[in-house]
Structure formats: structure tokens, C-alpha cells
Structure 1
Amino acid sequence: MGDSKTEKRIQELVEEYKKSGEDYTVDNPRALKIHVKRDLTFNEKEHRNVVEKEPRRIREDPVAFMLNLGLYYQGTGWRGYNDYIGTKILYPNCSNKIKQVVLDSKKVQEIITQLADRQTKILVAQKKWKSNDKRIEKQRKALRKELEVVAKAIAEKAIATVDSVRTLRFFAFVVNNILVRLYHQGVHIRESEWVELKRVALLAQEKKQSLIFLPSHKSHIDYLVVSYLMYRLGIQIPHIVAGDNLDMPIVGKLLKSCGAIFIRREWGNDELYKTVLEEYMATLLSQGMNFECFVEGTRSRLGKLLQPKLGVVKIILDALIDERFSDCHIVPISLGYDKIIETSSYATELLGTPKEKESLWGILTNTRLLQLKWGRVDVRLGKPYSLKDWLDDQVKMRGPMDLADPGQKSILLKSLGYRVLADINAISVVMPSALVGTVILTLRGRGVGRSELIRRVDWLKKIIEIKGGQVSEFHDMSTAEIVDKTVVIHKDLIGERKGKDIVEPTFYPIAAFELSYYRNQVIHLFVEEAIVCAALYSVVKKGGGKPLQRMQYADLLDEISFLSSLLKLDMIYRPGGVESNTRRTIQWLADNNVIEVSDDGWVGLSDLERSCGRENYDFLCFMIWPFIESYWLAAVSLFTLAPPSVVAGQDPIWVDSKLFANRTQSLGKTLYYQGDLSYLEAVNKETLSNAFVRYEEQGIMLKKRHSSPKPWSEVAVSPAYTPERQNGILMPRGHLWELVDHIGRFRREGKNRRDNGTVSTRVLRMADILGEDNAIPTANQKATAKKNSVAESTPSKAKI
């Protein structure tokens, strides 16, 4: 590749910067030329498997494997990681310099002084020293020294130690071998997205600004994939916010040397800890260090994006508002896997099994796991954008705002969180596993024939692309080949019946709960359509002729509003209100012949949809039904909180929230195995937890939080929703039953759910059985009651 082509590309980049209104000077033309040459190589193809030529196993090609090891050791070519874009790191004492800046900072020193003064005052009051006592200043200095030691320990625990390029090369070699062995079809990127990222990274480097990587969080290896790609493509590796549960022997030290920042999940009222961490992150941003955190806060056990957890994002936004740095660039990232390592453990956790201790080291050293072939990884980048520009646009759009006001700042923060989630959904790639899993779980019957499975995968791929979604590249493989490969990858989740007595190979779900993880990766594309179809199902399920299976538009909109509000903590909707979204959604459904709207405002199934056996309509209902079941179960479980007798003015029955959640799952499992619940996944604790939060927001459920003997909470049903009894028996009436009945209208009809009277009798009887144990106080309740009793019986100093 000639220099003239490189110089031409350099000039094109400079012109792009000028068009964007940025002044650009080339401080490091050699580094720029290197990256431009790489870009020109990448641009020969739209998509690229970045590990395509990497040797996988030493026994397959020992010469190539050892040669590759030597290249990493010697730092040859891109493996040397010498000309990366971004502020320079990976030099001796890099982390120590940052740590010293943090500990010597004005904010950290001020909080140490405040805490020392506060503790000194308490000590003086206890010992009744006079104000001029020389021991006071001595004590204050001693406390300062103790707090400085504590601050140093916090910094030592949290601060990444990115000091050695050799350590990074070693780790990159390890991660490379994990990825190429576990994901044998490679790690795929869209090259145009990475060229754009490099353009922004070069601009950020000139202005000493950071890139903020905000990936989706599906697996432990997410941060390994992102850091490996930055290393592989020549961009400064990010500092990554991680839970301190990953700070394990050996692997924890290695992760820290590659950018991991270990923080506690809960900071509570620890002012020193909070200040040190905030100052560290602000320091990184002020020095142009790249940064990575997961806006969901934790890994999604359901497959879909979680609601935003904005603690770290708040620190970034606060630092920008306080002018600790000039600007940074937000980079949304979507990671898609044919199969993730944790699928089975996620399912057991969601069903109530205690969470296993984290063991990334187990993953890195599990030779059996690394013998598996789990398809491919697809990584997509959203277009990077300036956080300062976004903030300015928000202020212009919303009018004058007081950014010092916590309430107004919270609005901005939430808006940013949902913007990032929407960006991730927009760029996410639907993997073959999601296509096949979705089809298998959204068809009626015990299984699906191979030809029908292929036909429906083709249909789903087409409809996703029509809706603007992205499907993983099939390359030269047919849909049939993709389906066959996916079934092999997921042979533990998808069974196949074949033989002489079977006319056609038939596939069926072995583990529907685990398979639902992959189906949920598609739900964001169809959530509005699914809600409309579920709302319409309240009349479709009644049967009868076409005139009996339709609703007036206004009535349908009421039901859609109810469902959308109910599920708001689990679903991420497109921008716009319910009415505008509903109009757009109904138009789309009508254009695709799923429903029809008459001139006088009636909405019902189209004739074409009826003639094809409702397959598209049912598909959309199947997407949302498991979540509706969860919210129905959560509402039913509130009957277990009913007092043994209803007396006017009676205090509600308070139950330990963890115990209540466990009893709800027990009730759900019983209802599932007895046929009153269609989906075992409806019993998952994550969706149930969101349902309880939603009922708390609506004033249906009450919650009290306690700080001792350890943080815990207890719940009760609101007096307005207290279930009614007759002769001591729970009755299906009152506000709570109205809620249960309303949600029940949208549930999938089944054998045991046609007779509402039978359901109410059977379900309420089981709820009453569980409720009998609620009168027995737990250890937490006993301890709190004892503490309150002691407090009430101890006279205060004021009374004395």
C-alpha cells in the first residue's frame, strides 16, 4: 500500500475534522499514519472477524501457536501496543502518580479534615475536655493520620495499576486464546463503526478528552472482549468499573493491571470512600483516560437490557457540570453472543437458588469449557457523541435549568441513562441463537418441524430488518445451515426428535427457561406491537365470530395504557407518549396485515391473519405473555399478606421482604406445576422484584426499610387494597382482586384458566396457606422489636 494512498486518507481525516468545526493539528504523524494504514486495510470489507487468522489450539498447529506466542512476547506489530490512540499509560509508576494526585486533592483532604473534626468533637464531649485542652489538637492530628491511612487503603484497593505493557500483552494473549477457542466462529465487528471511533479517538487525544465506553452487560467476558478489541485495534484500553467481588487472588491483580477499578456495590454513608472514588474518576477524566462502565449496573439474567443504574454515570455527569474536565465522548456498545457461559446459572439464580460466588478464574482455567464451540461474538458501536453537547441540547430543550438542583440533575441523569439504553438497542445485533430460540418459544404445540422452523426464522429475520433492526451476518450460509449450526450449539437447550417413525425432524425446547434468555434479546424490537396484541387478546380469547373479537380504538388505548404503565420497569419503549406510539404501532400492524381498523374505529384481527391461523399475532403475544404472567403472580401473592381477620383500623401484617419473595416464588412454582401458570420463567425473581417495586410506586404495596441488625426491609399490602374475607375465607373481590382480574384478561388462556371462579378458589386457597406463616416473626423482626422496646423503656437525658 503506497504512501500516496496513506497521505490521501490523512488529508481526508483532517478535512472531516475541519467540517465538524474542530481545529486539528497532527502532533504524532507517525502514529496517525499507522492507524490510517490499518483503516485502509479494514475498509476493504464491511465486516471483519478480528481473530480470523489466530491459531486456536496448540495441538492443531503447534508451530503457528508458538509463533503467535513469540509475537506477543516480542511485541511485534499491533501486539506491541506502542502507538495506541489516547493519553499515554503503561509506564512505570503511572498508577502511583494518579493515586498521589487523588490523595493530595483538595476534596479528599477536606473530607479527611471534616471527619477528623467531627470525631474529635464527639470525643471531647464524651471526655468533657475543656476547649483549650492541648490533648484536643493532638487527638485531631492522630485522627487525621488514621483517616489518611484509611484513604490510602481505599485507593490501593480500587485504583487500577496499568503500569506494564508486558503484563497487558500477556493478558491479551490469554484473552485471545479464550475467545478463539470458545467462540470458534470469531469476534466480528463492523469496520465503518471502528473507523469512526478512531476518528473521534484521535480528536479526543488532541484535546486530552476521554472516551466513555458504555456496553450492554450480558456476561463476565464482556469487559474482556471490549478491552481486547481496544488493544487489537490500537485504542487506549479503558479503566473499567467492576464490583469488588471480582477482586480474587491472582486474577484480581491481573485484572487491575489491565484497567479494572474494583468498587463496593454499596457505599452507604461512607463519605471518605465516596469522596476518594469520585475524585479518582474525576482525575482519570481530567487526564483524558478512557473509561468503561455498565449502565445496567449488573449482568442481565433475562437477556434484555435492564433499567439503568446511574451511580457511576452520575459521577461523570457531576464532574462535567463542576468543570473538572472539558468534555468526553459517549460510546454505546452492544455485545452479542451465540451462547453465553452463564445461561444455566442465570436460570437457577432467577428461580431462587442462592447466587454462586463469582469465579472468573474458574472460567479462565476451565479446560472442559474451552473445548466447547459456541459460535461467534458480534460487537457493534453506536456513533460517539459529546457529553457536553448532549447536556447543552438538553438544557436548550427543557429551558432554564439549575444544574445544582439535585431534582433537575436527576431528570437529566435519567434521560442520559435511557438515551444510552436506546442507543444500545438500536445497534444491537440479533444473533442466530435469538432467531431460533424466539421461533421455538413463540409457536404453539410441543415442537416444530425443521422446514417450518427454517421458514419462520426467515420470516423473523426479514421482519426485524424491516423494523430497522440488525441481524447477524449469515455470510455464504443458508438459513437451513444457520439453523442446524445453532441447534448443535444449543443441544442442551433444544432437543431433536428424528427416526424411522418420525416423518420430519422435529425440534422442541428442552429447557424453555434458559432458552427464553435468547428470545428476550429480540423483545425490544416488538414490545409496542406485543402490548397492542396482548391488549386485543382480552376479546380475542373469548372466541366467537369476527364482530365479537374486536374493540373500539378508545377502549383498546385504555388497555394499552394500563399494560404499558404496568410493565414500564421491564420494558424500554420508543420515545413519545402512549397515544403517539399506539397510533404508529397500530398502523404498522395494519400495514403488515396482522390487524385491521374499520372506518368507525373498530380494531380486530385481519382476515389474512385469521386465515393463516393467527401465527404472526400469536408470535407477538408469546413475546409479552411471560412478563404479564409475572405481574399477575406478583399481584396474587399480595393475598398472602392478608390479615387473618378484617377489622376496621387494623394494622397491616408486615413480612420480611426476602421471605415474602421466596414465598411468592413457591406459590408461582406450585401454580405452574398445577397448570395455573403458563410459564416457569414468570417465577423469575428479577421480574417479580420489578413488579413489587411498581406496586409500591402505585401505593398498592407498602415497604419499610431498616438499617439494623443489618440492612433489611419488610412489606405489607396497603389498607386500601387489603383483601376481603367472608367467614374467614379470602374472597375474590375488592381493589386487589380487581387488579388481579384486570391483569388476568391479558394472560394466555389455558386448560385450567377458563373458569375464573375455579381459579380464584384454588389460587386464593394456596395464598391463604402461605399467609398463615406470616404471623410468625423472623429473626430480623424480633431483633428490631427488641431494640425498639429497649429504646422506649430507656428514659432520655431530657426526661432525667
Structure 2
Amino acid sequence: MAQRTEKELQDLMDHYKRYQNIPVNDVIVVTQNQGANDPLSVTPETNEHEHRNIVEKEPRRILEDPLAFMVNMGAYYQGKGWRGYKSYIGNKIFYPDFSKNIKEKILSSKQVQDVIHQLADRQNAILEATRKPTKKFKKLSPAEQQKRIRKQEKALCHELEIVANAIVDKCISTMDNVRVIRVAVFLVNNILVRLYHQGIHIKESEWVELKRVALIAQQNKQSLILLPSHKSHIDYLVVSYVMYRLGIQVPHIVAGDNLDMPVVGSILRSCGAFYIRREWGDDIMYKTILEEYISILLSEGMNIECFVEGTRSRLGKLLAPKLGILKIILDAFLEERFSDCYIVPISLGYDKIIETSSYAEELLGTPKEKESVWGILSSSRLLQLKWGRVDVRVAKPYSLKGWLEEQLSMRGNIDLSDTHQKSVLLKSLGYRVLADINSIAVVMPSALIGTVILTLRGRGVGKSELIRRVDWLTKVITDKGGHVAESHGMSTSQIVDRALTIHKDLVGERKGKDILEPTFYGINPFELSYYRNQVIHMFVEEAIACVSLYTVVKFGGGKELQKMRYDDLLAEISFLSSILKLDMIYKPGGIESNTHRTITWLADNNVLEVTEDGWVGLSDVERACGRENYDFLCFMIWPFIESYWLAAVSLFSLAPPSKSSTKEPVWVENKLFANRAQALGKTLYYQGDLSYLEAVNKETLNQAFTRYQEKNILLKRRQGSPKPVSEVALSLDYTPDRVNGVLSPRGHLWELVERIGKFRREGKNRRDNATVSTRVIRLAEIVAEDNATPPTKAIFKKANQDKSKL
């Protein structure tokens, strides 16, 4: 297809704007300034409506305005305007036999057929090797024997084709009928406008740019790869809803097979969802079919949506990237299965997340509840609540081909057939996407409130102080290039009041005749930390620098005693940044340039000062204001440092029991070890040796254990069959010594504990290292003694103990 000029592309844009023409009597939000053509009609001359609530005038409840609600429902039924979804940008979907055609392409592909014959040959060879030839078979001529073997192989191929057919049926989406998604969008529209009563907000210029790129992709039969942040099950509903509403081809959505529920799973599949297993191990048939399906979608110019984090973030911040789907896409591109595609990072921001209470429980060790139809239906009570707004932001799309060429040019010669080098490239792409999401993320009022409340010393904060700190935080985020949700003319006091109303279950208010002003406090700091963590990416380098300086600040004394040489500070920052690298997303650049930029920012903002002879310490301005900004930055990162310290301490529980005579590593089931680490953490928290209960969360602990594996401190293996079990053990170099049979606070492992402990927040029970070591190691010893008992016996022992208590 010939390339079109910019003018022709603009004409196409105008055509797609005109298709959304909406009758005057329609209830879709069209302001006088917009005209009646396009929800995204924006010109270079004006930016008056840059931020828009696209559901501003949607009827929410039938009882509020029965006529408007019925007219709206009729518009969906008749397919008027954008609701009809007839002239979207992108290659054709939602036609009869759409999924049938895709299925036939998958099953008839060379890749799938080769695997079927390969598996049939393998099974046939095994059958022939194990079968005892019968007298009847021996009487057959060699040609007849071969004919019989081929017939058997053909039968095996037929059986494997049935298996492949079943996998395809369970996997692929069924986007065959536009009426199904039209009904689904009507339902989603009513759920979203009721639950998030302040609307769905977009930045128009971002979506106009996405439309422009989508037109180019359509012209070249290329796909958009939508990569949203993943905070809630609502995410995929919001993205598809906005894509549908603004006239872009809705994506095929990669979803875990745990969501393939009766009824609901089928509806989601009809709207673009396709379900994949979390793991497929050595199942070559499944792996090949999935790769072929995605490759065909890409070759057909179908948009694909997947969550680069892999799962919903239970912490509020972005998780490390999971690269499975991106690997399939990159491999298909390198195999020239498609010409190019466009990477589209998307940020989703909510005033309140539906699942935060269950997230907190899961992070503390409560087993995850399986999704069910009943679970979804029973949440209908949520529709009676009003949970603020949703912000959907889109980063500038970029070509995968262009990105790859840029990487190859920057990195020099890369052998893309080398697994390790390709893995480095993939990881770079994953973190590029996360950085792009962070760069466009909108900080919601709830995140501002949660951050302020959890980063102030004391039991609570007065209303006036809360407003002052929210103003300060808003200004700092904006000055750093971040984005805060639009206020639309509201005062900070009004914004704070709205956020407090939405989060009255998390933020309490103390008031009365004997209290001079209303005072707010965190009812549930653990759950509230979810919202604070949405801001951490803005301050992570500054927080690490401040905590590194804290290693001398915490000892008190005069100004001269609370400063560090710049080189010493750089060494502390390098260590801590390296330890936290899996949990934090840093700005591009090396540690030295990043530190220089960070210290410069802190000095420019009067938090720190740098002397001419190379000393770094607190500024006089910061000392005069009671270290409020310095402490704010430390409070941001302290809970994560606590988690990594706890993870290091819990490694003592992997020490061989006192009666063990061997020096070999003691292997413990990974899940059992993780549970023991959380039990140790909860005990330390309630006894005062851990400052934050959120430090016990299994998400950060698992990241810490992964980091210690990378540093060869913790070993990991998979044992057993047919379902292998993960086991962990302590490296011999880090196995602690015993003195008179008692674990000793010395050796490489204790050095690691103390090294991380330098950065921890001081507390009443944590000033004396000797006392800490005695208490912590005593508790770790209790757990380590259980290593002498096989897990199964330990379970029975506990069960019998529980029975004896009844």
C-alpha cells in the first residue's frame, strides 16, 4: 500500500471525526465549545478544553432522570453516533466468522502443524520402542509394517489436532458480533459513571496523537500494543471503553485464565479478552499456539493490550516488568511475521481502588480469593458508592522497529540470537514502558492526602496543616514535571474535603469541644500506604539520598557532626540503590550523574547544602523548619528499607539447626520460608523492632529475596515431579556461625543486616545493636530449629498441638 501524505492523513482524521456526528437530542456530552462533531475536536490555536471529562453529562441512574436514561439506552440499541461503532480507526473486527478465520489460520499454520507432527513422531517412536511385536505384525511385509506405523502416526496426529483445537477454543477471543460489545459498553458505561461519579478524564492532545498514529497503523496494517498500568480489574474495562468511545479499534486483551469464569468469561471473550495460563512450562503445543495466535493478530493489524506488570499492583507503585508477552511480540518481529507495531504506554489513575482492602489482606498473607461470578455480582453494592474520578493518560506512541534500531545503534553490535543479550534488550524495553507510564501518571487527590498523612511525625495532622502540606506537595510534583489531577477551579480545601469523604474508612477525624481544630489520622496506615506509593516514583532518588545522609543525622549532635563527605554519601547511595533496584524505577543515567542531579535539586530546594570543600549536610533552612521536608523524603522510602532488612534477617532462619552435623545448605520449601519470614516480621513489628507493618508485605519481601538470589546470597531450585516445588537455601558463604550451638551475630549475613540497618528509622527499641541482635537472632533461631523437621511432619505436629488446645 502506498504511503500517504500528511495532508491525506489529515483528511482521514477529518473523516473519522465526522463519523462521530451526534444528533442534538442525544445525551452524550457535547459542549457548545466542542460543536457536535467530535469529542476530541481540538485545534492548535486553543487549549481551552485540553482536559475533559468524557462522561460529564451521561445519565447515571434511571431514577434521577428517567427520560435521559431511556434515550441513552435507546441510542445504544439503535447504534447512534459513537455507540454504533461502525467507522472506527483500525482494521475490521466484529464481523461473523471473525474468530473462525483466526482459528483456521492458527491451526493450519506451519508452526502449529510442525509441532503436531513432531509430537506425533515422538509419541509414535515411544510406542514402537515399548511395544512387543505380535506374531501378526511379524508376518507383515516391511512395506505393510511401515504402512501400519504411518497409519498409527496419522491417528496420533488426528488426536493432537483435537487437542490443539481445544486449546485454541479456550484461548482465542470471539469478536464476532458488535451487538455484544455494544451491550457490554452500555453496562460498563453505567457502572463507571455511577461508581466514579466525578467522571473519566482524559488529556485530549494525547488521544488526538494516538488517533493520528492509529491511522498510520491502519494504513500499514499494523497494530497498537497498549500497555497500561495495572491497579484494578476495572483497568481493562476503562481502556476498552475509552477506545470504543473515541472511535479506535478495541484491543485483544491478554488476561489470566483465572478470569475465564462462567458467563462473565464468555462475555469478556466476545469483547476482546483472550485467556492464557500463568505458566505453561514444557507444554510445547500450548506455547506454539499462543505464539502463533499473537503473531497472526499482529500480522492482521489487531490491537493488543497486555499489562506489562503481569498482575495487579497490590502496592500502589508500578511493579517490575513481566516480559513474556513482549518477548513473543519481539520474537515475531525478528522473524518478520509483521512489519512493525506501535508501543502505547497508558497510565490509569483512580481516586479509590475497589480492591485495596483485599490487597492489604493478601500482602499480609491471607490467601487470595478466587475470582467468581458471585464475587462480581455481590460487589453490586459498590454502585451505591461515590469514589471520585478516573484519569486516563497516554504516552506518545513509538514504533517497535524504530526503538530497536535506536537500541542497536546505541549499544553497538548485539547478537539477537543470543538469549542473554536479547533478555537485556527486553528488560530495557520493559523498564522504558514503566518509565513512560510514570512520566504521564496523574497524582490523584487521594495520593496527596495519603502521602501527607503517612509522612508526618506525630499521631495526626490539623486541617490547616494538611492543606498547607498538600499545597506544598502539589507544587513540588508540578515543579518536578509531574502531573496532579486538574482542580477545575476548586480550592485546595475543597479538594481535601472530597478526598477525605471518599476515604473516610482510611482517614479518621478527631473533633469535639475539647479539641481546638479537627485533626486527621490514618485509621489503616497499611491500606493508606497504597496511595502514598503512587507518588514514590517522583521522589525515589531524593529519598535514597536523604536516607543515606540519615546514617549520620540520626546520631544527633551539632551541624558539624551531621554531615558527610560527598564521596562517602555517593557510596551509601550506590549501595542502597543497588539493593532496591528491583523495586524502584530510576531515571536514565549512571549513579554518579543521577546523584549529582539529585543533590543539586535538594540543595536548590534548601533541603541539603553542599560546602565548597565537598561536605553534604542539612541546610539551615531545613533545620529551622524542623526537618519537615527532609523527614518527608525519608518517610517515603523507610518502609521499603525495613522490608529488605527483614528479608535479610529472615535468612537466619535458613541456618542449619543446632543439632545438625552437616555444613550442606538446608533446603526449605519456598512458600513455607516466605510464611515464616512474614511471621518473624509480624512478631518484630508487635515487639517494636520493626517500624512499619507494611514492611511485612509479601510483595516487597519476594522482591528482596529475588535480589538476594541475584547476589548469590540466597539459592533457589525446583524439585520433584510432576509438579515441581520451589525450594530455597542459604549460600554457604552466608551461613551464620554458631557459638556453643547458638547463632552468632557475625559473618557475611550479619554484615548485610547491619549494612541495611544503618538506613533504618531510629526507634526506642533499635538504638542498641547488641540488644537488637539478641532479640532478632533468638526469634530466627526458633524458626531455624523447624528446619530439622520435614514440612509434612511439622504440619501434623502443629495440627496435634491445636487439637490438644481444644
TM-score above 0.5: yes
Instruction: Please list, as runs of the form range in 1=range in 2, the aligned pairs for 1:81-100 lying within 5 A after superposition.
Output: 81-100=85-104
2:684 equivalent to 1:680: no
Partner of 1:10: none
Task: Please give the alpha-carbon distance, in whole angstroms, between the structure 2 residues aligned to 1:497 and 1:263.
Answer: 49
1:55 aligns with 2:59: yes
For residues 568 and 29 of structure 1, what CA distance do their matches in structure 2 show?
46
2:164 — aligned with what? 151
In 2 relative to 1, CA 361–46 (structure 1 residues): closer, same or farther, beyond 3 Å?
farther
Residue 404 of structure 1 and its aligned partner are, at CA, apart by 2.4
Three-state SS of the structure 2 residue aligned to 1:59 is coil
Q: How does 1:560-709 map to 2 (within 5 A)?
A: 560-645=573-658, 650-708=663-721
Q: Give the drift of 1:32.
A: 5.7
CA offset digits 1:731-789 (Å, max 9, x no partner): 2111111111111110000111111111111111111112111111124999xxxxxxx
Aligned to 1:41: 41
Aligned partner letter, 2:111: K
Give 1:396 deviation, angstroms.
Answer: 1.3
Structure 2 counterpart SS, 1:41: coil
Q: Residue 658 of structure 2 contacts residue 785 of structure 2 at CA under 8 Å; is this kept in 1?
A: no
Secondary structure at 2:231 match in 1 = coil
2:355 matches 1:342: yes
Q: In the alignment, which residue of structure 2 is the partner of 1:763?
A: 776
User: How far off is 1:719 after superposition?
Assistant: 1.2
What is the distance in 2 between the residues matched to 1:304 and 1:651?
Answer: 39
Quick one: which amino acid aligns to residue 88 of structure 1?
K
Note if contact 1:285-1:325 (Cα within 8 Å) is conserved in structure 2: yes
- Tell me which residue corresponds to 2:803: none
RMSD: 1.9
What percentage of residue pairs aligned between the two structures are identical? 72
Q: Cα distance, 1:654 vs. partner? A: 1.7
Q: Does the 8 A contact of 1:363 with 1:369 survive in 2? A: no
Contact 1:278 1:315 in 2 (8 A): yes
1:379 alignment counterpart:
392
Residue matched to 2:766:
753
CA distance in 1, matches of 2:714, 2:13: 61
TM-score, normalisation: structure 1: 0.93
The residue type paired with residue 74 of structure 1 is: Q
CA change 1:552–1:360 in 2 (3 A) is farther
The CA deviation at 1:707 is: 4.2
CA distance in 1, matches of 2:10, 2:638: 56
The answer to whether 1:409 aligns with 2:422 is yes
1:300-339 alignment to 2 at 5 Å? 300-339=313-352
Shift of 1:34: 2.9
The residue type equivalent to 1:567 in the other structure is L
Kindly indicate whether residue 759 of structure 2 is the aligned counterpart of residue 777 of structure 1.
no
Cα-to-partner distance string for 1:446-485 (whole Å, 9 max, x where unaligned): 0000100000000000000111100000111111111111
- Structure 2 contact 124–153 (Cα < 8 Å) conserved: yes
- Residue 495 of structure 1 aligns to a residue whose secondary structure is strand
| Structure 1 position 261 matched with structure 2 position 246 | no
- Show the 5 A alignment for 1:544-563: 544-563=557-576
1:490-528 deviation digits (Å, cap 9, x = unpaired): 011100001111101000000000000000000011000
Do structure 1's residue 111 and structure 2's residue 80 form an aligned pair? no
Q: 1:778 to 1:710 in 2, by over 3 A?
A: farther
CA deviation after TM superposition for structure 1 residue 689, in Å? 0.5
Q: Pairwise mapping of residues 413-492 of structure 1 onto structure 2 (< 5 A)?
A: 413-492=426-505
- Equivalent of 1:176, from 173, 185, 189? 189
What amino acid is the match of 1:51? Answer: V
1:646·1:725 contact (CA, 8 Å) conserved in 2? no
Tell whether the 8 Å contact from 2:408 to 2:414 is kept in structure 1 after alignment. Answer: yes
CA distance in structure 1 between the aligned counterparts of 2:753 and 2:216, rounded to whole angstroms: 56
Give, in angstroms, the shift of residue 207 of structure 1: 0.9
Q: Could you tell me whether the CA contact under 8 Å between 2:12 and 2:215 is conserved in 1?
A: no
Instruction: Name the CA distance, whole Å, in 2 between partners of 1:378 and 1:25.
Output: 28
- Aligned residues of 1:692 and 1:701 also touching (Cα < 8 A): yes
Distance 1:496 1:248 in 2: 41
For 1:750 and 1:359, locate their aligned partners in 2 and report how far apart those are by CA, in whole Å. Answer: 44
Q: 1:547 to 1:414 in 2, by over 3 A?
A: same
1:401: Cα distance to partner? Answer: 2.5
Amino acid at match of 1:596: E
Q: Is the 8 A contact 1:656 1:781 kept in 2?
A: no
* Shift in Å, 1:402: 2.5
| Residues 9 and 215 in structure 2, CA contact (< 8 A), matched pair in contact too | no
> Which letter maps to 2:508?
G
Deviates more, 1:766-775 or 1:517-526: 766-775
Letter matched to residue 242 of structure 1: A
Indicate how the Cα distance of structure 1 residues 253 and 500 shifts in structure 2: closer, same or farther if over 3 A, else same.
Answer: same
Q: Distance in 2 between matches of 1:397 and 1:540?
A: 41
Distance of aligned partners of 1:488 and 1:549 in 2 relative to their CA distance in 1, 3 Å threshold: same
Cα shift at 1:29: 7.6
Question: Is the CA contact (8 Å cut-off) linking 1:246 and 1:360 kept in structure 2?
Answer: no
Contact kept, 8 Å, 1:39 with 1:195, in 2: the verdict is no
**Which secondary structure state, in structure 1, belongs to the residue aligned with residue 224 of structure 2?**
strand
CA 1:390–1:639 in 2, change beyond 3 Å: closer, same or farther? same
Q: Any idea what SS the aligned residue of 2:345 has?
A: strand
Per-residue deviation, 1:712: 1.1
Question: Bigger CA drift: 162-171 or 26-35?
Answer: 26-35
Distance 1:459 1:25, change over 3 A: closer
Gaps of 5+ in 2: 22-36, 796-806
2:539 aligned residue? 526
Match of 1:226 in 2: 239
* Residue in 2 that maps onto 1:297: 310
Secondary structure of 1:55's partner? coil
Aligned to 1:786: none
CA distance in 2, matches of 1:175, 1:645: 60
1:145 match: secondary structure: helix
When residues 709 and 165 of structure 1 are mapped into structure 2, their CA distance, relative to the original with a 3 A threshold, is closer
CA distance in 2, matches of 1:538, 1:28: 58
3-state SS, counterpart of residue 368 of structure 1: helix
Is the 2:39–2:54 contact (alpha carbons within 8 Å) kept by the matching residues of 1?
no
Query: Separation in 1 of the partners of 2:792 and 2:748?
Result: 32
Contact 1:220 1:360 in 2 (8 A): no
Q: Is contact 1:181–1:371 with CA below 8 Å preserved after alignment?
A: yes
**Structure 1 Cα separation of the partners of residues 502 and 62 of structure 2:** 23
Change (3 A) 1:238 1:656: same
Give the corresponding residue for 2:740: 727
Contact 1:251-1:361 within 8 A present in 2 as well: no
- Distance of 2:86 and 2:792 partners within structure 1: 59
Deviations 1:55-101 (A, max 9, x none): 11111112211111111111111111111110011111111111111
Partner SS, residue 475 of structure 1: coil
CA distance in 1, matches of 2:441, 2:549: 29
Give the 3-state SS of the residue equivalent to 1:604 in structure 2.
strand
Equivalents in 2 of 1:674, 1:231: separation in Å?
53
Post-superposition offset of 1:364: 5.3
CA shift, 1:405, in A, is: 2.4
AA paired with 1:111? V
Which of 276, 286, 300 in structure 1 is aligned with 2:289? 276
Please say if residues 20 and 82 of structure 2, whose CA atoms lie closer than 8 Å, have aligned partners that are also in contact: no
The reply to whether residue 197 of structure 1 matches residue 182 of structure 2 is no
CA distance in 2, matches of 1:31, 1:535: 54
In the alignment, structure 1 residue 400 sits paired with structure 2 residue 385:
no
